[in-house]
Amino acid sequence: MEGFKFRELKNDPQQFFQILPEDWQDEIVPFWDTYKTDSKIYIIEDDTGIVGGGIVFYKSPPNFEYFETDAKAWFDKGYGYLGFIWISEPYRNKSLGSFWLNQLKSENPQQRYFLLTEEEHLHHFYLKNGFVCSRSLHNEDHLEWLYHT
């Protein structure tokens, strides 16, 4: 995409974390030291800085206890878990989410991915980006959908 770059953020993860909603920051920042050796942050940036990105986890991310057994099976098959995918508000509806996923897949063509979302309105987005919806599951008081490539 014109004017946007995709890259792995190897240093200073706080650059990415600071664009996330505060409740998301609360879920990842305190635990990052535990996950940083088994995770990679990939960002999208333009000349103003980081505008979006996400994290690929190679072991279960924080607050995953309810899905731990299932997640282990996916990790054992070689899948990476996509989490904390975020595009800053002013950059939405510009196909940057698709750009991020496509760049990630082209950089790691043999890697397969899975994710969970509670956002039903994202169903079409994940399908058009090559994911399959495997099933839905209940997490406490809400429904989530499992997608994989």
Note the pLDDT tens digit of each residue in 126-145: 999 999 999 988 877 788 99
Look up the pTM and report it: 0.94
Structural domain boundaries of the chain? 5-111
pLDDT for the residue 134: 93
Instruction: Tell me which fold the domain 5-111 belongs to.
Output: Aminopeptidase (3.40.630)
**Residue 71 burial by CB count (10 A; 0-12/13-18/19+): exposed, middle or buried?**
buried
Task: State mean pLDDT over 99-111.
Answer: 96
Greatest distance between any 2 Cα atoms in the chain? 42
pLDDT for the residue 91: 96
Radius of gyration of the chain (CA): 15
Note the pLDDT tens digit of each residue in 17-72: 999 999 999 999 999 999 999 999 999 999 999 999 999 999 988 778 778 888 99
Q: Report the distance separating Cα 139 and Cα 136, nearest Å.
A: 10
